[in-house]
Structure 1
Amino acid sequence: MRRWLKRPEGANWGLFGEDDQIGRMNLVTPARRLAAVASVTEGLAFPLSLPLDHPKKQVFAGRNPPVLSPTISADGRTMYDWMPAGGPIDVVNDDQVLLGLQYSTQWDGLSHYGTCFDADDDGVAEHVFYNGYRIDRDFVLPGEGRAPAALALGIEKLAETGVQGRGVLVDLRRSDEKVGYDALMRAMAEQGAEVGEGDLLCLYTGYADILLRDGADVSDAELAACPGLDGKDSALLDWIDRSGIAAICADNSMVEKIDGVNRCAGTAMMPLHEHCLVRLGIHLGEFWWFGALAPALAERGRSHFLLTAPPLNLPGAVGSPVTPIATI
């Protein structure tokens, strides 16, 4: 049975195959990956992640920082400064973590964000995700003694691609709070940043710099003043579609700026999330850090680099921490 009979306006469902689960990452071809590798001339590597315990001040209620604890051995002993039975010289530390998968530097999977849409054309809207996958058929919902899982579009599908291609950094720190098409094009032109099909667009707003600098004392007002994309700008959404970019990665909390949870009936709270994750299959990265990479690129008069950023290969998860690496 076909998964959907109609798709949202502007959606590319079916473009990469009826059962596709990686969206525009299909455009990161071996040839494009080779071109990105060929752009490396100095072998300098720049980590693009925050420490996993950042933000130090909670940005989203319910998303909690990691909690480390020692592993407990089969016989009930704490495996920290642990000497295995019968071993007079061995000392072992072993730990585990309770980790919010989308607390710090992360990927949003295509299973992270959906929409209500009548995909089977029966007059009733379903909860659907990229390429018509549905909450009632393709997900395990949490319940008594039952863990949730994305049976389709899980973050492991992104991990299987390797996530390695050409990153292009655009510095938006001097832009207005809401960055639409005109402002983005202006910034790209000023910086000589050329973005093409299969590229991973990276947006530097200064947000993560503030998180690192101020820790738990970070100012909400200062964070709020950092730019983000204007998901209501139809010209911007159209460009994202036409550009062929495979992903958008930002150093802020949501990539886009929204007006809170209040919105007009029938409209998405996060229109750029809906456009990218649901309609086009464009993965979103959040809480990345470009504070060291940006000046290094500026000094060299370039904006592109080799980006390597696989998520955890964790079947069924809808998002994942990531430790991206830029190489120039």
Structure 2
Amino acid sequence: MEQKTVPQIAELLRDAPKNWGKWGPDDEVGSLNYLTHAEVLRGVQAVRSGKTFTLQIQMAHPEGDPVWPGRMQACRMNVMDKGHWMCGKGPLFPGLAQYADDMMIMYLQGSTQYDALGHVWHDDQLWNGYDAQSTIGGLSKASVLPIAERGIVGRGVLVDIARHRGKAVLDPGETFTHRDLLDAADAQDVKIEKRDILLIRTGWIGSFYQRDKAEFYKDYVEPGLTYSPELVEWFKDMEIPNLVTDTMANEVTIDPASGAALLLHNALMRNLGVTLTEIAQLDPLAADCADDGQWSFLYAAAPLKIVNGSGAPVNPVVIK
């Protein structure tokens, strides 16, 4: 069988739009610049009941966490607990206070997390044209730190593509486009507005906790958005600042047309500066939205302030 030649991303995106320089030569937060004070207030105006939801998955769960294949599970370990005092090795404080302490070893993108804009690139250039050599030893440009220090607050809208297709979870490799998102939003009676923070539920991460782990990871291919010039133009025209999904890569693992991996990471994040949030737990929020018919809300998030980090864990908060 003849093997398909996969074109380089630079060739596939030769004519794709860029927002480089739009916010100046030193910008490191990209399309988050769209989230002005007015956009924050628009998000506040979406609050109706005061119900709150957090979107992070649990970390270091004894039965395992969903992580990208090849990445190590988060490992939490005690370094101090009651056992130290039981064997006479605990420190003695005035008043005899005792305590527990622990530490964690993990990939910074091994939980619900924000990508730095410099996390993925092609053709030796990151977001805003920064040289890819700036990633050596840590991201000195377009790291997660400027995103973390800025924070992300605005009107969020959830599109439940799995529910729209009558499924608990999309199939491996199942794709959808921005037109599918618009159809699903219309069925939900919600409008995706300019500068909305866009949340998309596929059911994928939620299914991790319901399935055999070996089966979940077998021939690993996620469902997700698939690249097209029209989709990229839509994101650009809509000035979407932040894409949040319940998958590990926010896009189908391998683009079915070209065979390239991480094509939308390059088209949306590298070129347009759209911030990507991955591995979100959206099932409880989606169930509540389906129950009360409210699919828009205030979204607020701030990843950890990791200096030179390519990403950082986050626990986003939704207020309805």
1:210 touches 1:218 (CA, 8 Å); kept in 2?
A: no
Per the TM alignment, residue 70 of structure 1 is displaced from its structure 2 partner at its CA by 3.5
Q: Which residue of 2 aligns with 1:196?
A: 193
CA distance in 1, matches of 2:291, 2:199: 18
Q: Cα 1:71–1:262, aligned 2, differ >3 Å: closer, same or farther?
A: farther
Q: Which residue of 2 aligns with 1:119?
A: none
**Once the two structures are superposed, what CA deviation does each residue of 1:70-91 show, in whole Å capped at 9, x if it has no partner?**
348xxxx979997323546111
Per the TM alignment, residue 39 of structure 1 is displaced from its structure 2 partner at its CA by 1.9
The answer to whether the aligner puts 1:186 opposite 2:183 as a matched pair is yes
User: Which AA in structure 2 matches 1:195?
Assistant: I
Q: Cα 1:79–1:308, aligned 2, differ >3 Å: closer, same or farther?
A: farther
Q: How many residues align?
A: 295
Per the TM alignment, residue 316 of structure 1 is displaced from its structure 2 partner at its CA by 0.5
Per the TM alignment, residue 53 of structure 1 is displaced from its structure 2 partner at its CA by 3.0
Match of 1:279 among 259, 271, 280: 271
What pairs up with 1:128-207 in 2 under 5 angstroms? 128-136=125-133, 138-139=134-135, 141=136, 148-173=137-162, 174-175=164-165, 177-207=174-204
Per the TM alignment, residue 200 of structure 1 is displaced from its structure 2 partner at its CA by 0.9
Which deviates further from its counterpart, 278-287 or 235-244?
235-244
The answer to whether the aligner puts 1:245 opposite 2:240 as a matched pair is yes
User: Which AA in structure 2 matches 1:254?
Assistant: A
Per the TM alignment, residue 255 of structure 1 is displaced from its structure 2 partner at its CA by 1.1
2:74 touches 2:106 (CA, 8 Å); kept in 1?
A: yes
Q: Structure 2: which 5+ residue stretches go unaligned?
A: 1-13
Q: Cα 1:40–1:20, aligned 2, differ >3 Å: closer, same or farther?
A: same
CA distance in 2, matches of 1:182, 1:312: 34
User: Which AA in structure 2 matches 1:205?
Assistant: T
RMSD of the alignment, in Å?
2.9
1:83 touches 1:92 (CA, 8 Å); kept in 2?
A: no
User: Which AA in structure 2 matches 1:210?
Assistant: S
Q: Which residue of 2 aligns with 1:219?
A: 216
**Once the two structures are superposed, what CA deviation does each residue of 1:103-147 show, in whole Å capped at 9, x if it has no partner?**
12111110111110xxxxxxxxxx1100011122x23x2xxxxxx
Per the TM alignment, residue 12 of structure 1 is displaced from its structure 2 partner at its CA by 1.1
Per the TM alignment, residue 196 of structure 1 is displaced from its structure 2 partner at its CA by 2.5
1:171 touches 1:205 (CA, 8 Å); kept in 2?
A: yes
**Once the two structures are superposed, what CA deviation does each residue of 1:268-324 show, in whole Å capped at 9, x if it has no partner?**
522111011110000111110111111212222221111111100111101111111
User: Which AA in structure 2 matches 1:199?
Assistant: D
CA distance in 1, matches of 2:86, 2:150: 36
Match of 1:313 among 295, 305, 308: 305
Match of 1:255 among 245, 250, 264: 250
1:70 touches 1:79 (CA, 8 Å); kept in 2?
A: no
Q: Cα 1:53–1:85, aligned 2, differ >3 Å: closer, same or farther?
A: closer
**Once the two structures are superposed, what CA deviation does each residue of 1:50-96 show, in whole Å capped at 9, x if it has no partner?**
11236936653331111123348xxxx97999732354611121111
Per the TM alignment, residue 214 of structure 1 is displaced from its structure 2 partner at its CA by 3.1
State the TM-score, normalized to the length of structure 1.
0.81
User: Which AA in structure 2 matches 1:275?
Assistant: A
User: Which AA in structure 2 matches 1:153?
Assistant: A
Q: Structure 1: which 5+ residue stretches go unaligned?
A: 1-6, 117-126, 142-147
Per the TM alignment, residue 14 of structure 1 is displaced from its structure 2 partner at its CA by 0.6
CA distance in 2, matches of 1:62, 1:276: 24
Q: Cα 1:298–1:87, aligned 2, differ >3 Å: closer, same or farther?
A: same
Q: Which residue of 1 aligns with 2:284?
A: 292
**Once the two structures are superposed, what CA deviation does each residue of 1:143-202 show, in whole Å capped at 9, x if it has no partner?**
xxxxx2111111111111121111110011044711023322211221123222322100
The answer to whether the aligner puts 1:325 opposite 2:320 as a matched pair is no
Q: For 1:253, what is the secondary structure of its paired residue? A: coil
Q: For 1:13, what is the secondary structure of its paired residue? A: coil
Which deviates further from its counterpart, 44-53 or 77-86?
77-86
